[in-house]
Structure 1
Amino acid sequence: MFKKREIQEMIDKGRIKPLSPTEIARQKRIHKVKSDAAREYLKVSENREWMVKHGKQYLVDFTQNELKAMKKYFNALDEKNEGSIGAKELEELLISMGLAENAVQVRRLIETVDEDRSGRIEFDEFMEMIKSEGNA
């Protein structure tokens, strides 16, 4: 982590540009989304563990190992580390998994689970897509 003095020196030497107020706000939103997602993931994870421990695994859609593997795949697709992936990033994966046959079907799948209508898929939406298509 850089100190304020070090950052100011880099700005003064032209090695980095200062962030605009718009970019600062954008970065804060991304950080909040990631923080909220991490908290939600932990809560869901604890609930899943409780259900399995108490013989209710039939209520759990994916095992912890399956979830970890899917999160790994999702993160690999999320090259910019934004916490979401677009249609182009999803296309090859969904077609290779047999969940879609072409780009048009990929976009339709995205539309069915994209709750915030961002045109991008967050991890929970991704898992909903995998779950719904696996049961279709």
Structure 2
Amino acid sequence: MKTMKYLSMMLMMLALSVCMVSCGDDDPSEVSGNASITGRWESSEMRINYKEAVLRVEFSSNNKGSLSAIYTDGTDPDTYNFEYVLKKEVNGDTYLTIVWTGNFVLIYDENVEYKITITPSRLVWGGYTYIRK
């Protein structure tokens, strides 16, 4: 009888330890300076400030970047700097949040998580498609 009681206690302890180990962290992990987004991206045929323009976004590995409107009529470009957080969810979705470092905002809102899609040659962000340059 003592042996059965001992074995059932051991079996219960083993089952509990397996259950505790299987619980993992389901929180999204923040990705710092993800190489897949780092670089220069451009989207053409845009209308910014009532002018035709190419929108250029550059992401550096130190979580800083810039967004530029390069006007096709030769007008000086508008460039705005930002800092960013790239977050990859457990389910594979990727989110980008930017914080403007100046007083101006160009197309994207500050502190909004935008769901993005990144491939080696394309970045889809807020309804715009960028090509890696």
TM-score by length of 2: 0.25
Structure of higher RCO (CA pairs closer than 8 Å, 6+ residues apart):
2
Instruction: Return the index of the structure with the highest Cα Rg.
Output: 2
Report the structure, 1 or 2, having the larger strand content: 2
TM-score by length of 1: 0.25
Report the structure, 1 or 2, having the larger helix content: 1
